[in-house]
Each structure stands twice: as C-alpha cells, then as structure tokens.
Amino acid sequence: MTSALPLETLRAAREQLREAGKKVVFTNGCFDLIHPGHVRYLQQARALGDALIVALNSDRSVRELKGDKRPILTENERAEVMAALACVDYVTIFDEPTPREIIAALLPDVLVKGGDWGVDSIVGREEVEAAGGQVLSLPFVDGCSTTDVIERILGKA
C-alpha cells in the first residue's frame, strides 16, 4: 500500500488549489525515520500556505545519497507515515537525482528546505522564483537527525 500520488494527480490537485486561490508549499527529502525535527520542520512549512506537498526520495535515491544501509523504511512505508501527518496534504515519490521536474510541473507558491540548505542551493529555486514564488530555508533543529536517531538505537550516542 502506498499513500504516494503520481505526478498527474498532483498536477490536477495543484490546478484546483490555484483556481481556489490557495497557497501551495512544497518540500522534499528522504524523511527516513520521522523524528521531532522533521515534524517541526513540516509544521513550519505547512504554516506558510494552505496545502503542503512533500516529495520523497525513492529508495534507490536514498541509497545513492545516504549509503547502502539506508533507507531504514521503504519508500511506501515512508509515504504512508508522511501522509498520516496532519500538516501534510499530498505525498509523492521521485526517483530522479533531484525533484526539479516535479517542482517545474507544479510551480508551488513556496518552496522550502531545511536550514542545512542555503537558498541559492535549493533545487527548483529558479523555476519557482521565475513564476513569482518564494524560496525559503527554514531553521535547522540541532540534534534532531535520522543519523542521530540511528546512533541512539545502536547505543553509540
């Protein structure tokens, strides 16, 4: 079972939101083992608009970024957990190296990433700003990372 939506379904939802004058916020990431830092970040992102779209890296993409031992949860498990959060309205999965294609297709009103990303390095910034949207880097929550959680589980921290 997956809670992830295909791009065409998201495009239709985005168009309905645009026609209704709703502000759409978009973010992306691995979101492996949801922790308080993720929840705070997603709540902050959702507060910036009327709907929050989260694009999850595919399992293959997470392995490329984080190594062979990740992800801990599969893409469908991560999508199910993400979709269950009250602050998240839509979830999709992308297998490309970056979410640029999805961002360009949806053109959200607000594109956000965590504070470990500088605004100039956020993928999709050019497309969103060219369409009149806003790009933000939200504050990073120190001590809250999936790596920290894994180390605590393994008794290393």
- Tens place of pLDDT for every residue, the chain, 157 residues? 568 999 999 999 999 999 999 999 999 999 998 988 899 999 999 999 999 999 999 999 999 999 999 999 999 999 999 999 999 999 999 999 899 999 999 999 999 998 777 888 899 999 999 999 999 999 876 666 767 777 777 786 5
pLDDT of residue 150: 75
pLDDT of residue 149: 74
pLDDT of residue 145: 72
pLDDT of residue 11: 97
Q: Is-contact 62 32, C-beta < 8 A?
A: yes
Q: DSSP string covering 69-138, please?
A: T--SS-HHHHHHHHHHSTT--EEEEE-SSSSHHHHHHH--SEEEEETTS-GGG-TTHHHHHHTT-EEEEE
The answer to whether the bond into 71 is cis (omega within 30° of 0) is yes
pLDDT of residue 157: 55
pLDDT of residue 76: 97
Cα distances (Å, whole numbers) of residue 125 to 15, 36, 54, 96, 104: 20, 26, 16, 17, 10
pTM across the whole model = 0.92
pLDDT of residue 125: 97
**Token pair in block for residue 128:** 């969103």
